[in-house]
Every structure is written in C-alpha cells, then in structure tokens.
Amino acid sequence: MTELGILDLVPIRAGGTAREALENAADLARSAEQSGYRRYWLAEHHFASLASSAPAVVAAHVLSATSTIRVGAGAVQLSQRVAARVAEEWGTLATLHPGRVDLGLGRSSGRADQYREALTRTPTPAVVPVADHPVVDGVVLPKPRDLRELVDSARIKTGLAVITPPGDVPDYATQVREILALLAGRFTPEGLDSPLHLTPGEGSDLLPWILGNSPGASAQLAGRLGLPFVANYHLAPGHTVQTVAAYREAFEPGVLDTPYLVVSADVLAAESSGDAHRLARSFLPWLDSVSRGVGAIEIPDADDVAASEVERLTARHSARVATRFVGDPDDVVGRLAALAALTEADELILTTLTHRHDDRVRSHRLIADAWRDRTPKAEKIR
C-alpha cells in the first residue's frame, strides 16, 4: 500500500509545558512505529509555542525512544544554517542510527519580502465558503492564498533576523549540493586540492529530501538532482498539482533513478465524525495566530473555543478548513486516497494538531488501521 508518515510540530497544549511536548513526541513516534507508519518527521519552528526549534536534538531523543521507524526533519531551514553544520549534525545521527535517518531540506529565504510584497496588492474581497472551493477528483484545490493575511509584523521581522546569520542569504541550491558532496566524500572547496571529509557522516546512508510549497526553485532543484520531494498540500494546496508536475518534469536520474513523491496533508480522525469536528475546534485559534504573524499559540482546549469563534475563524480561514481532512476514519482515508490518486504520490505524510495528546495518538492509529484496509501496496524507498 501507499506508505504513510507523520509530520510532528511538537505542539505545546494550553496549560502544558515544552518538556511534556517533547515527551509526547517520543510517545507519538513509538505509537506510529507500532501502527506501521514509515516515517516520523519533525518540523522546524522558532519563537512559538512549539517545541521543535532544534529538530536534530529532538530527532536524537525520538531515535533513542524507537527502534525501526525512520526519523527526519521536515524541514531544516537552510537559510538559517551553514550547510556543513547541517551535514555534521544529521550525519552523526545517521551514523548512530543507520538506515533510520532522513534529512528534509527547506528553503525559507525571502519569506519576509514575500509577505511585504503581498501587502501592496489589491486584497481579495470575496469570502469563499468552505463548501465552494474548487474540487478536482475529490480533492479540494483552492485558489492560491492571498498572503495579505500574513501581517508584516515586527515579530516576524525580528524573529527572522535573530535566527538568520548576518550577510547575504546563502544560495539554496549551492547549500544542497554542498551537503550531497560532503556525504559522498567529494566536497573540495575553492583553494583546496583535496576534499574535506565529513566525520561522522561521510558514506552514511543519510537520505536528503527537498520540501516545497510551489512549482518554483525547490521542486525544480529536487528534480534536477534526482532527489525525493515532498509537496506541501497542507500548507499550499492551491499550488499542489503544479508543484508535483514541476518536480516530475524537472527530474533527472541522480540520487534516485526515478522520481519519488510524498504529499503532506493535515488530518484529524475520531471514532465519529461529530467527535472529530468537535476536537478540530482547537485548530482554529492556533491557525489564526500563525496567520496573523503573532506566533503559534498553545493549543487550546476544544471546549474553550466558543461557537461564535468557530464560525468567524472558519469563514476567515475557509481554504485551510476545506483542505483539512476531518472526520471518522473512513472519511479521512477516503480523502487521503483521492489526494494520493490525483498526485500519484508514493507516500503521504500526515500532520495533526489537538489539545490532548491522546486524541492525536488515537487519530493516527485510526487512520493507519483504516488505510491498511483500503489501499494497494506501493514500492518503498529506504
């Protein structure tokens, strides 16, 4: 069957702590391993109520708590790192845990400029109801979102400045190529006659991936280098079809002989559709805090989100609500199957946010069980 993975933001619940969130990450990964998930990846976020600011450190914690599931980053933001340090950190993990480490690489440079440029455009006046977004073969494909909703706030500017090294932003393609060269033992910087050797990590089975939200630089680079690629439907559903096509059209044999595509989705399953939609209320205030540029808040208790807030925030963020797969296991798995068919994805990677950790664990278990009963088998990648 088409493989499933998990992308964890390591959320902190209202009234909880970062320590608790980190222990929950290990527990979720153990449960995912038992449920047959192929991968468990960690997102990278800074200055927010998410305990995932140091994915390599959290990955080490999770790897030590599990035995077979692949653990990785989804994704390390290269604009905030020196490529060699990324290779050293993840190469060390791959040496300690052979056959189990993935290195997802993201490109976050220029995001603040994109937000500022969006504020100069004419706003989109129409509010599109959840049920009215375009649907293709059972998959909701809203128009690309209007980035005016992302406020050009002092918090965004300052946060980016604090975590980004001074000077020019490194070229993303160059950084990716440097990491590949370091892993292969052929990284010879200008001025040297022999390569620098990555110790540990050189010759390991560490597998780099590229993640992207659009049919632009990331998708095309992944294709040109023959790398596996993740298209972020849960973040940019309006671009997904074009992003997938751009990756496949650009693909040349490299690290892989043939394209390998993973597509992300935001999901929440419960025993009944009513229970799932009740639990989903927690997501709306959290999403609104992110969209307004004030930083992700702690995940509120669903019962503390008033019905009037649900209605207001659903209208404000209707595209994200429409593209989040919420319901009983059959509902969610049906939508996942449609997404896999439309994109011809080799794997799907799922993210879930709930106030209670147990609800998140249960959601992933229910989906895994229902998915196994429904879908044909696909070829694995490491």
Residue 148 has pLDDT above 90, yes or no: no
Model pLDDT, residue 206: 97
Q: Quick check: is 381 in a domain?
A: no
Q: Quick check: is 341 in a domain?
A: yes
Residue 92 has pLDDT above 60, yes or no: yes
Interval 58-63 mean pLDDT: 98
Output the pTM of the full model.
0.93
Q: Quick check: is 333 in a domain?
A: yes
Domain that residue 272 falls in = 3-374
Model pLDDT, residue 153: 61
Question: CA 52, CA 7: separation in Å to the nearest integer?
Answer: 11
Domain count, the chain: 1
Q: Quick check: is 179 in a domain?
A: yes
Q: Quick check: is 382 in a domain?
A: no
Interval 128-157 mean pLDDT: 79
The chain-wide mean pLDDT, for the chain, equals 91
Model pLDDT, residue 126: 62
DSSP conformation class of 201: T
Specify the higher pLDDT residue, 170 or 209: 209
> Would you tell me how many other CB atoms lie within 10 Å of the CB of residue 258?
11
Model pLDDT, residue 376: 57
Lowest mean pLDDT among 7-16, 62-71, 115-124, 315-324: 115-124
Q: Please, what is the Cα angle at 171 between 165 and 172, to 5 degrees? A: 100
Specify the higher pLDDT residue, 353 or 164: 353
Q: Which helix (H) or strand (E) holds 42?
A: strand 39-42
Cα-based distances in Å from 162 to 76, 82, 259, 313: 16, 15, 36, 31
Q: Over the stretch 233-285, which tens digit does the pLDDT of each residue have?
A: 999 999 999 999 999 999 999 999 999 999 999 999 999 999 999 999 999 99
Residue 151 has pLDDT above 90, yes or no: no
Q: Which two tokens stand for residue 346?
A: 């080799």
Model pLDDT, residue 161: 73
Q: Over the stretch 297-333, which tens digit does the pLDDT of each residue have?
A: 999 999 999 999 999 999 999 999 999 999 999 999 9
How do beta strands 101-106 and 207-212 pair?
parallel
Do 336 and 265 touch, CB atoms closer than 8 A?
Answer: yes
Lowest mean pLDDT among 24-28, 113-117, 210-214: 113-117
Q: Quick check: is 265 in a domain?
A: yes
Q: Which of 380, 91, 335, 68 is nearest to 228 (CA)?
A: 380
Residue 204 has pLDDT above 50, yes or no: yes
Chain CA centroid to CA 288, Å: 18
Residue 122 has pLDDT above 70, yes or no: no
Cα-based distances in Å from 209 to 118, 182, 365: 29, 15, 26
Q: Quick check: is 234 in a domain?
A: yes
Model pLDDT, residue 70: 98
Amino acid symbol at 186 = R
Q: Quick check: is 380 in a domain?
A: no
67: CATH: 3.20.20.30
Q: Which two tokens stand for residue 265?
A: 């989705």
For residue 71, the cross-strand partners are 40, 101
Do 175 and 275 touch, CB atoms closer than 8 A?
Answer: no
